[in-house]
Structure 1
Amino acid sequence: MQYRMKHFQLTPEQIEDLLQRADCGHFGTIRENGYPYVIAMHFVYYKGNIYMHGLPKGLKIDNVNRNSKACFEVDELLGLQPDDKCACGTEAIYNSVVLTGTAQIIQEPEFKREVLNKLVDKYTPQFTGGEFPENMLKGTSVIELQVSECTGKYHK
């Protein structure tokens, strides 16, 4: 375990709070050549998992279909604590959460619609309760990261 994780762990409640509040996270998958691929994504934390949406084709979709191992990271920079003597002594004040697990593309239309409604509630609440046209539902992928491990840390 990392040093900071032993002494600066977020509580499960603090982790949940950050995952509910954060607007953007970073989704990590594995490319065909074995290198990681990380992309900023809007998301919703729902039923203990991370859900993201996007186009049904592209690198992240290809990566998920080829290798389901994935991760997701959320952070917030709360400020900087400067050192009076040296720039190298300046420390970040932050909270962060890292989740690892198995990613898959949601195929079941009703659950896909349910998740998309949660995303609408979070990002565009003025459209809550609206219907998704069938062509929009078909033209949108929903990625689920089934969380197997979650850690959160802070520095203040």
Structure 2
Amino acid sequence: MFNEIKLKDRALSNEKAIEIVEKSSFGILSTIGENGYPYGVPLNYTYFDNCICFHCAREGQKLDNIDFNNKVSFCVVTKSKVLGNEFDTDYESAIAFGNATVITDESEKKDILLSLLNKFSADYLKSGRINVKILIISA
């Protein structure tokens, strides 16, 4: 499906990739639009039930693209440090590929939203229960 990684010593186990995804707070979701252009957007997310989950407005470019083609990639970068004297950057990253799905089940939406709130706004759980769309990326 994808080319093999060139620098084999940088390949991660699934467990290490999940660890990176779990500890980061944002990533870049990449979709493809009807116009043929890729669209990358940074967003907050939670890793819940073996899926990358995020919320969004009820309409917009991201949802239009996912309606057109639900195949997506998601990239997370952590521990970024520029190594000026080496003309390089030291970082950890993980890339996930999958299919994005809008969640309609109210119970599942509630569980994912609570996971998001616990990760980002634990002090505001009550006011954070708003009517939003919840999406997941699954393999």
TM-score (norm 1): 0.80
SS of residue in 2 equivalent to 1:57 = coil
The structure-2 alpha-carbon separation of the partners of 1:8 and 1:132, relative to structure 1 and needing over 3 Å to count, comes to: closer
Aligned mates of 2:77, 2:137 — CA distance in 1: 17
Which residue pairs with 1:40 in the alignment? 42
Please name the residue that 2:110 is paired with.
113
* 1:77–1:92 contact (8 Å) kept in structure 2: no
Alignment match of 2:58 (pick from 56, 59, 77): 56
Identity %: 24
Equivalence map 1:140-155=2 (5 Å): 140-146=132-138, 148=139
For the residue of structure 1 that corresponds to 2:25, the secondary structure is coil
Gaps of 5+ in 2: none
Q: Which amino acid aligns with 1:102?
A: N
Structure 2 counterpart SS, 1:114: helix
Mark the CA change 1:90 to 1:126 in structure 2 (over 3 Å): closer, same or farther.
same
User: 2, 5, 23: which one pairs with 1:2?
Assistant: 5
Between stretches 15-24 and 33-42, larger displacement belongs to: 15-24
User: What SS does the aligned partner of 1:3 have?
Assistant: coil
Greater relative contact order (CA < 8 Å, ≥ 6 in sequence): 1
Q: Please say if 1:93 is aligned against 2:95.
A: no
2:117/2:128 contact within 8 Å kept: no
What amino acid sits opposite 1:127 in the alignment?
A: Y
Partner of 1:152: none
Partner of 1:17: 19
TM-score under structure 2 length normalisation: 0.89
For each residue in 1:46-94, what CA deviation from the matched residue of structure 2 results, as whole angstroms up to 9, or x when unmatched?
11111110111111011111211111000124323333xxxxx411111
C-alpha RMSD of the superposition: 1.7
Greater radius of gyration (CA):
1
